[in-house]
Amino acid sequence: MGKFKETVLNPILKGNPITVLILGICSSLAVTVELKGALVMALSVTVVTGVSSLICSLIRKTIPNRARIIIQLVVVAMMVILVDQFLKGFAYAIDKQLSVYIGLIITNCIVMGRIEAFALGNKPLPSLLDGLANGLGYGLILVIVAFFRELFGSGTLFGIPVLSAIGYTNNGLMILPPMALILLGCIVWVHRSIDKDLQEK
Amino acid sequence: MNTNSNVYTIVYTTVVCVLVAAILAFVSQSLKPMQVANEKAETISQILAAAQFEEQADNNAILNFYKQNISEAILVNADGKKVGSLNTADAQVYSTADLKAQNYNIKDGSACSLPVYIFKNGISVIPVYGAGLWGPVWGYVALDGLNIVGAYFDHSGETPGLGGKIKDDPKFRAQFDGKKLDFSDTHPFDIVKGGAPAGKANAIDAISGATMTSKGLNEAINVWALAYRNYLKNQED
């Protein structure tokens, strides 16, 4: 049971894909202007990473080694298109909200990274958990960054005026991508000063 | 079994690709009717939103509300002549693909048939379509004569929080209320970077941080307004 706990908790804390593995930086800069978008993106990535890891783990013994990246890509792309198609059919409003994000999931390094590093060498259940947990670890950072960017950039949270209601002047830099990178750097800094194991000697 | 042989690799990859393609084709085909219905309902809800009708709960409510309140939906050409009409009992509307096709017609000067949705309360809604920063932007402008009573815009890929504000920021849309199209001006309508001059009846403020989207939307409105110019003028007289 201890192993399962580690599989789930490690990607969220000590092995966080963004702050420790420095994966998925690109999309975390792009989709963190608003909390709502960040949350839905986090959820979609969690689903795609989880299910793709599960499928790849199920067929891991049959995949020809030389073509494995292509096979992984096909599986991930299929999952992303399926998510998009189902959202378009059953939750059109949410799909509209996500617009470009859905397609961006394919390019998210975390998805392929976890399949390559974990799912191809482990049983289906741990792979599913590992995928889901990595998605959550990614989502956690996304939400933290989006919280600060929306609060100080637009003065709102989930579109509800918070700081702008008390006369705060929006900081335009916060909604531009460079500020996301700076914020991300700060989070990595805080994470590493709390967890001394992560510091390089 | 040798999973590293050439034959195995080629056969395996082919089978996986064909299988995935089959799954995607099947899912896409079986979900198509729902997706098309959703898109149509969305288009109608945007037309209704531009005309300042209250928001409807679901697809059926949107269709019913539209059928009850629409007077007629006609097609006009660049000379302002009626060249056809859309079936209102069936809630037939121009999709964004139709608007895109008409946008080409307008730009290269060939014969176009542009929709005008005329509601029972006298409000006419005309569409606009053009290029934003990352993809198309389109929308609907509700007119009472040449006076703008409301507008609604949408986009396929503008940056959320910046260009996406043409859709998401109610303050941006509210600016259109009470403005008018002025065909005596060089541009019938202006979205001005840095702020519209006070008291100008056919100009509004652009979105800061979204210069290209604002420009694109400005062009879309102007190109389409000029295409409807003769029709709108005939209505005035």
pLDDT digits (tens, 9 = 90+) for A44-83: 889 999 999 999 999 988 888 888 899 999 999 999 998 8
Range of the domain at A159: 23-198
Contact B31 A88 (CB under 8 A): yes
Chain A contacts in chain B segment 60-89 (CB below 8 A): none
Contact B31 A78 (CB under 8 A): no
Amino acid type, A10: N
Residue A8 located in a structural domain: no
Taking contacts as CB-CB distances below 8 angstroms, the residues of chain B near A62 are 3, 12
Q: What would the pLDDT profile of A120-132 be if each residue is shown by its tens digit?
A: 888 999 999 999 9
Q: Closest residue of B to A61, CA-based?
A: B3
Q: Please name the helix (run of DSSP H) or strand (run of DSSP E) that holds residue B112, with its range, or none.
A: none
Q: What is the mean pLDDT of residues B7-25?
A: 93
pLDDT at A156: 84
Residue A156 located in a structural domain: yes
Taking contacts as CB-CB distances below 8 angstroms, the residues of chain A near B39 are 92
Chain A contact for B22 (CB, 8 A cutoff): no
DSSP bridge pairs for B137: B130, B155
Give the residue among B37, B178, B47 at the shortest CA–CA distance from B118: B47
Q: How many CA atoms lie within 13 A of A17 on its CB side?
A: 32
Residue A16 located in a structural domain: no
pLDDT at B212: 92
Q: Where are the domains of chain B?
A: 71-236
Which residue in B19, B30, B31, B213 has the most chain A C-beta atoms within 10 A of its own C-beta, making it the best mutation to test that interface? B31
- Percentage of residues in chain B with pLDDT exceeding 70? 99
3-state secondary structure of B59: helix
Q: What is the mean pLDDT of residues B91-95?
A: 90
Higher pLDDT among residues A185 and A91, named by residue: A185
Residues of chain A in Cβ contact (below 8 Å) with chain B: 31, 33-34, 37, 62-67, 70-71, 74-75, 77-78, 81-82, 85-86, 88-90, 92, 96, 99-100, 153-154, 172, 175-176
Q: How confident is the model at residue B22 (pLDDT cuts 50, 70, 90)?
A: very high
Q: Please name the helix (run of DSSP H) or strand (run of DSSP E) that holds residue B136, with its range, or none.
A: strand B136-144
Q: What would the pLDDT profile of B33-78 be if each residue is shown by its tens digit?
A: 998 999 899 999 999 999 998 888 788 899 999 999 999 999 999 8
Taking contacts as CB-CB distances below 8 angstroms, the residues of chain A near B31 are 85-86, 88-89
- What is the domain count for chain A? 1
Residue A115 located in a structural domain: yes
Give the closest-approach CA distance of B169 to chain A in angstroms. 10
pLDDT at B69: 92
Residue A10 located in a structural domain: no
Q: What would the pLDDT profile of B143-198 be if each residue is shown by its tens digit?
A: 998 899 999 999 988 887 788 899 888 889 999 988 999 888 888 999 998 888 88
Which of B23, B35, B39 has its CB closest to that of A78? B23
Angle at Cα B200 formed by Cα B199 and Cα B203, nearest 5°?
Answer: 130
pLDDT at A17: 84
Signed CA dihedral, A152, A154, A156, A159: sign only: negative
Taking contacts as CB-CB distances below 8 angstroms, the residues of chain A near B28 are 85
Taking contacts as CB-CB distances below 8 angstroms, the residues of chain A near B171 are none
SS (H, E, C) chain A: CHHHHHHHHHHHCCCCCCCCCCCCHHHHHHCCCCHHHHHHHHHHHHHHHHHHHHHHHHCCCCCCHHHHHHHHHHHHHHHHHHHHHHHHHHCHHHHHHHCHHHHHHHHCHHHHHHHHHCHHHCCHHHHHHHHHHHHHHHHHHHHHHHHHHHHHHCCEECCEECCHHHCCCCCHHHHCHHHHHHHHHHHHHHHHHHCHHHCCC
Q: How confident is the model at residue A97 (pLDDT cuts 50, 70, 90)?
A: low
What are residue B142's phi and psi, to 5 degrees? -95, 130
Checking if the pLDDT of B102 tops 90, the result is yes
Contact B209 A176 (CB under 8 A): yes
pLDDT at A54: 94
Contact A64 B12 (CB under 8 A): yes
Q: How confident is the model at residue A136 (pLDDT cuts 50, 70, 90)?
A: very high
Give the closest-approach CA distance of A1 to chain B in angstroms. 34
